[in-house]
Amino acid sequence: MSPYEHGEVFVTDDGAETDLDLGHYERFINENLTKDSSVSMGQIYNSVIEKERRGDYLGKTVQVIPHITNEIKEKIYSFDCSDVDVVITEVGGTVGDIEGLSILEAIRQIGLEKAAEDVMYIHVTLLPYIYGSNEIKTKPTQHSVKELQSLGIKPDIIVCRTENEIPESMKEKLALFCNVRKTSVIENLTVENLYEIPLMLEKQGLAREVCSHLHLKNDESKNEKWQSMIDDIKSKKEHEVTVAIVGKYVKLEDSYISVIESVKHAGYKNNAEIKIKLIDSETITKENVHEKLEGINGVIIPGGFGNRGVEGKIETIKYVRENKIPFLGICLGMQVAVIEFARNVLGITDANSVEFDEKTANPVIHIMESQKQIYKKGGTMRLGAYECKLKSETLAREIYNQENISERHRHRYEYNNEYRERLENAGLVCSGLSPDGELVEIVELKDHPYFIASQFHPEFKSRPNVPAPLFVKFIEAMI
């Protein structure tokens, strides 16, 4: 999944590589989701083809309806036997997309298979604003509702994305033309901070409408904590810091969405206003690193793949290590920190990762044993949550304040233990290890205000109200 096409690849505890939307869901509801929460059409087709090859359809003609649609419904119904109260099925794309037709047909069927008060349809539309004539247009909404109805789905609620408040008369018009009650036309206004959205929708009565349709109790008192979090987020901050994220997918902010959100969460916790600067590592050289990092209070090197831009990351790490600027390395960021240390402190000038140079004489980062026989690229990395043991009297232990942690991974390469003794003796402490002591999961430096890097991705578990410890202490160090 190219970061430029998909933005970040989000990883769940059970190791699913998913669309970044899943990260937003986790951050908003503070629940760990699983691979069952992310379904691609590829998976659906793959499973239907496998069933056909196995003979499950007894040689019958395999068709979109019912075979593909049944497969989709099975995914949704798979939550039937669990402790889930409500299943939200988000269908991506736009009504009328060829890709989405079978999914819309599947959810239409669910509406008939279940009791009327157990199923509802929420249609999200865009109300464009025309600057020249200063008006909001309802036509695209009317049109997509018509399309949806021709597919057999009548929306119960229409959520309208809009930059400007929708006048009452327009809500009435939308209700009339789109065949819903006026109270079911929900304005979805652009807000200053992402986390205000649930409260904004609540004010519009979304929960009231949903709960009354599904015969659920609407517990409004639950919003108080969220409201006080928003008040904190929006209050004037005591501190201000600038964080640089040095990577190569800087043209699309979504490529680092969880990292960026985690930095913000840590800012809320530290009463700090955070400025984030994305710097393209390909533009960084030994000569200009000083200039590039001017005014920066701390640096993050996030995950990544491939050779491009790596030398700029090495220069960056050398600079922050020597100049005692707070540093947080994530996944590739940790691997590059090890390479930098091996080259510039141990003097192994050709130290490298076999990812960047297959034939390197000094592979301080090498291919994991479990990866050696794997030739397929998709879904074959070390994925999902793994336990990690933190050594006492280390920065990592102090940050997490516990011995055992669990964090999410997505990588193919790892720290090479053959160099462990030399690297440790020179000061690069291995402060987090897999429970069997074999895999190095965290490295850190002692004589530095904050220099720590993890093989895992702490950003996948950060939530606005439960920020990730590695980020919280990073911001604290910067302040």
Q: Do the Cβ atoms of 416 and 364 come closer than 8 Å?
A: yes
Position of tokens 């009354």?
212
* Nearest-approach distance from CB 372 to ligand GLN, in angstroms: 13
Site residues, ligand GLN (CB under 6 A): 303-305, 331-332, 355, 410-413
SS3 sequence, 170-224? HHHHHHHHHCCCHHHEEEEECCCCHHHHHHHHHHCCHHHHHHHHHCCCCCHHHHH
State which residue, 75 or 313, has the beta carbon closest to ligand GLN.
Answer: 313
Structural contact between residues 206 and 214, judged by C-beta atoms closer than 8 angstroms: no
Q: Which of 160, 178, 331, 430 is catalytic?
A: 331
6 is catalytic: no
Q: How far apart are CA 393 and CA 468, in angstroms?
A: 20
Among residues 1 and 101, whose Cβ is nearest to ligand GLN?
Answer: 1
Q: Which residue is nearest to ligand GLN (CB)?
A: 303
Provide the minimum distance between the beta carbon of 412 and ligand GLN in the complex, in angstroms, as a whole number.
Answer: 4
Amino acid identity, position 3: P
Tell me the closest approach of the beta carbon of residue 224 to ligand GLN, in angstroms: 38
Which CB, 159 or 423, lies closer to ligand GLN? 423
The neighbour count for residue 420, using CB atoms within 10 Å, is 14
**What is the smallest separation between the CB atom of 305 and ligand GLN, expressed in angstroms?**
4
Beta strand ranges found along 222-358 (DSSP E): 239-247, 272-280, 298-301, 327-330, 351-353
Question: Exposed, middle or buried, 55 (CB in 10 Å: 0-12/13-18/19+)?
Answer: exposed
Specify the residue, 303 or 467, whose C-beta has the smaller distance to ligand GLN.
303
Q: Which is nearer to ligand GLN, 67 or 409 (CB)?
A: 409
**Smallest distance from ligand GLN to CB 473, Å:** 21
Residue 10 sits at φ, ψ, to 5 deg, of: -90, 145
User: What number of CA atoms fall less than 13 Å from residue 320's CA on the CB side?
Assistant: 35
CB half-sphere exposure, 249, CA atoms < 13 A: 22
- Shortest distance (Å) from residue 23 CB to ligand GLN: 15
Say if residues 253 and 452 touch (Cβ distance below 8 Å). no
135-136/17-18 β-pairing: unpaired
Which residue number, 331 or 430, has a Cβ lying nearer to ligand GLN? Answer: 331
Give catalytic status of residue 239 as yes or no: no
90 among known catalytic residues = no
Nearest Cα to Cα of residue 333 among 362, 358, 354, 312:
312
Cβ proximity to ligand GLN, 303 vs 464, nearer residue: 303
**One of 17, 209, 340, 459 is an active-site residue; which one?**
459
Q: Cα angle at 37 between 51 and 83, to 5 degrees?
A: 100
Query: CB of 306: closest distance to ligand GLN in angstroms?
Result: 7
Check: CB of residue 44 under 8 Å from CB of residue 99.
no
- Residue positions annotated with a catalytic role: 331, 457, 459
